């Protein structure tokens, strides 16, 4: 950029700030790579600066396919950042999943491209006389002090906490553009950054050697976090106070990155919604075997991994997606040996992102010293996952004999061996008559949710608790009222909580006042956690820390504290996997067992924030 253009931009920004900052329909931000022009919108009384399609890497195409991301190319002039970038190439059901999980008031069809490493920024604009809100025009070149992992609240008064969103989608689908961060940013005065990364084969292919180490998607996520560290101050965000939050496979990646040496220092809190790295299928044990299967379908079979990878690089994006379709990812397959089914492309132990299986690292307490908030929904396997997986829950299949066959086909996903399967069927279905197919269906849904999301989430909570770092656990129990394409249930399906955290129910006419109040409370909990490492605050029901008593918060229209979630069922799964888990690890009573948060003043002060110790609270009407 010429010095004249730079000077004129600097003068413009200074004048804009001097005038109050602030209400401009075309906000400008100078990043390390060039100048962005976004757009401004209003949510309630708060103005939000929105920057869409912001590049955090060079396009991962050509020779950069199956390679680590590289910093974006700088640009001259002003780059338009008012429209969404294309989303990464993904399975055909990605369009439907995006529509289902859409966090916008309206929906636009996705555009797909291999050039897809972009993120979006939603930043609240500073109001007159309010020094605690971010200044949208802070230059990215401003020197910022190094911050401690616990990022003391408002140490830099002009900067807002940053919340980086990791989308879910079974590592196969998902995008940043499906998630509107404006409500959360406006109501809680945080900077919200949804990112997107490579998916499926393009995001995870590994030959197990230097030709294609794998974990490209996680390297994309790390590249986005490095971009945040270098640039987010220009948007009014505090790079010293970054919270990761994500759902499903995004939540699993966050859990995994907490054990990665190259992700350390890039974030300061973590939230996993319905997913952790403890889930058995998070790590692919034999990536070369999977790579050879993909290569065979692509016509690239070869004993040389170099030739194999070069051949796959030469295939078009459309050809790669046809190969992906032939792999039948995340679909029930009754013709194939269950032990050979590849449910989805997933991370590997590559010696770069992961030095060992994250579960092994968690067992040894080798985890980022940051507060962790995690939880599940009450009916994770209610409708959306069976619908996508083509997992039959109809009357024809709901007999014990056929259920056993069904569970065996999904055994690697459920982490159940052939020998264990009769024990599982007995535990969940023994007292149910074969003619009561609806009750059988409900118990199968419970079985699947317990085996996957709940058991692994509780194990992760215990690992982090035993390591001595703050943990907060929840169970979300209310269905999303804005979902109109699925049957209504009395519990929360997979992903339902997102409609409340992103505030989508606030704009829906068919949401009740209590549902809107629940959304406001959940947004406050999440933002408080981003601010202080503790979700508690004034006028909120008390959320206890997850210690040896294993107390957690039930999030519903009536919110209450409970303990030992599904204790009997979890004891069953513990016995089934008796040689695994944090019970083999040393434990503490929830104190700082050598963790760096021992003397954190913010953490010590958090107890004073929670004055309401009642066990049950009914949602008030929203203000």
The two three-digit tokens of residue 165, written as one number? 């969103």
Q: Is 435 exposed, middle or buried (0-12, 13-18, 19+ CB in 10 A)?
A: exposed
Q: Quote the CA–CA distance of 39 and 339 in Å, as a whole number.
A: 50
- Count the alpha carbons within 13 Å of 275 in the hemisphere toward its beta carbon: 24
How far apart, in whole angstroms, are the C-alpha atoms of residue 126 and residue 236? 9
- Give the span between the Cα atoms of 109 and 89, in whole angstroms: 14
Catalytic residue among 175, 182, 248, 519: 248
Q: Tell me how far apart the alpha carbons of residues 49 and 312 are, in angstroms, rounded to a whole number.
A: 41
Tokens of residue 81, six digits = 């950042």
380 in catalytic set:
yes
Strand partners, 37: 28, 80
Contacts of 315 (CB under 8 A, 6+ apart): 298, 300, 323
Coarse DSSP helix, strand, coil percentages of the chain, rounded to the nearest 5 percent: 35, 15, 50
Radius of gyration (Cα) for the chain, nearest Å?
24
Nearest 10 degrees: CA dihedral of 98, 103, 106, 107?
-10
- CA distances from residue 617 to 220, 560, 613 in whole angstroms, order as listed: 41, 6, 10
List 188, 380, 515, 550, catalytic entry: 380
Q: Say how far residue 583 (Cα) sits from the centre of its chain.
A: 26
Q: Is 161 exposed, middle or buried (0-12, 13-18, 19+ CB in 10 A)?
A: buried
Residue 15 to residue 17: CA distance in whole angstroms = 5
Catalytic residue (choose from 494, 511, 515, 519): 494
Residues 6+ apart with CB under 8 A from 58: 64, 69, 70, 71, 72, 73, 117
Active site residue 248: yes
Cα(83)–Cα(295) distance, rounded to whole angstroms? Answer: 36
Residues 6+ apart with CB under 8 A from 135: 17, 21, 126, 158, 236
* Active site (catalytic) residues: 248, 380, 494
């Amino acid at each position: 950029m010429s010095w004249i253009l730079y000077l004129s931009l600097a003068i413009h920004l200074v004048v804009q700030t001097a005038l109050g900052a602030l209400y401009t329909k075309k906000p400008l931000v100078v990043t390390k790579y060039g100048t962005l022009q976004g757009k401004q919108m209003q949510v309630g009384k708060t103005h939000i600066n929105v920057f869409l399609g912001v590049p955090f890497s060079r396009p991962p195409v050509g020779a950069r396919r199956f390679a680590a991301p590289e910093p974006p190319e700088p640009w001259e002039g002003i780059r338009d950042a008012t429209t969404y970038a294309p989303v990464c190439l993904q399975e055909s059901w990605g369009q439907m999943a995006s529509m289902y999980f859409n966090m916008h008031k309206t929906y636009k069809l996705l555009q797909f491209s291999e050039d897809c490493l972009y993120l979006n920024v939603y930043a609240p604009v500073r109001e007159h006389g309010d020094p605690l809100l971010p200044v949208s025009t802070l230059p990215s070149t401003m020197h910022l002090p190094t911050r401690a992992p616990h990022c003391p609240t408002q140490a830099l008064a002009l900067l807002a906490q940053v919340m980086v969103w990791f989308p879910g989608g079974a590592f196969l689908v998902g995008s940043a553009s499906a998630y509107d961060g404006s409500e959360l940013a406006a109501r809680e005065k945080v900077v919200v950054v949804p990112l997107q990364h490579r998916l499926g084969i393009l995001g995870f292919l590994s030959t197990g050697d230097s030709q294609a180490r794998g974990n490209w998607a996680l390297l994309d996520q790390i590249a986005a976090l490095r971009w945040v560290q270098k640039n987010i101050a220009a948007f009014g965000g505090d790079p010293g106070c970054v919270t990761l939050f994500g759902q499903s496979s995004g939540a699993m990646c966050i859990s995994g990155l907490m054990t990665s040496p190259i992700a350390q220092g890039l974030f300061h809190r973590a939230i996993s919604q319905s997913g952790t790295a403890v889930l058995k299928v998070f790590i692919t044990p034999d990536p070369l075997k999977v790579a050879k299967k993909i290569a065979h379908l692509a016509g690239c079979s070869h004993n040389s991994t170099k030739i194999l990878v070069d051949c796959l690089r030469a295939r078009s994006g459309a050809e790669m997606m046809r190969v992906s379709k032939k792999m039948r990812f995340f679909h029930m397959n009754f013709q194939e040996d269950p032990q050979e089914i590849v449910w989805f492309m997933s991370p590997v132990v590559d010696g770069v992102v992961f030095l060992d299986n994250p579960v092994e690292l968690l067992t040894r307490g080798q985890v980022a010293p940051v507060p962790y908030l995690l939880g599940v929904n009450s009916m994770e396997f209610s409708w959306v996952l069976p619908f996508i997986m083509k997992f039959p829950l109809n009357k024809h299949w709901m007999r014990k004999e056929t259920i056993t066959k069904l569970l065996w086909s999904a055994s690697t996903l459920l982490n159940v061996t052939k020998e264990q399967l009769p024990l599982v069927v007995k535990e969940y279905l023994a007292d149910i008559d074969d003619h009561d197919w609806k009750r059988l269906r409900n118990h199968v849904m419970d079985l699947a949710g317990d085996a996957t999301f709940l058991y692994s989430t509780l194990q992760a909570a215990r690992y982090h608790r035993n390591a001595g770092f703050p943990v907060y656990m929840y169970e979300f129990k209310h269905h999303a009222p804005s979902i109109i394409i699925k049957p209504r249930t009395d519990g929360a399906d997979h992903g339902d909580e997102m409609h409340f955290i992103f505030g989508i129910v606030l704009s829906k006419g068919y949401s009740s006042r209590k549902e809107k109040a629940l959304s406001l409370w959940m947004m406050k909990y999440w933002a408080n956690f981003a601010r202080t490492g503790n979700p508690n605050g004034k006028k909120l029901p008390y959320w206890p820390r997850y210690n040896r008593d294993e107390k957690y918060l039930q999030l519903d229209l009536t919110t209450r504290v409970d303990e030992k979630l599904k204790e009997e069922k979890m004891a069953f799964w513990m016995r089934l996997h008796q040689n695994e888990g944090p019970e083999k690890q040393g434990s503490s009573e929830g104190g700082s067992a050598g963790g760096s948060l021992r003397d954190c003043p913010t953490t010590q002060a958090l107890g004073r924030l929670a004055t309401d110790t009642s066990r049950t609270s009914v949602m008030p009407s929203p203000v």
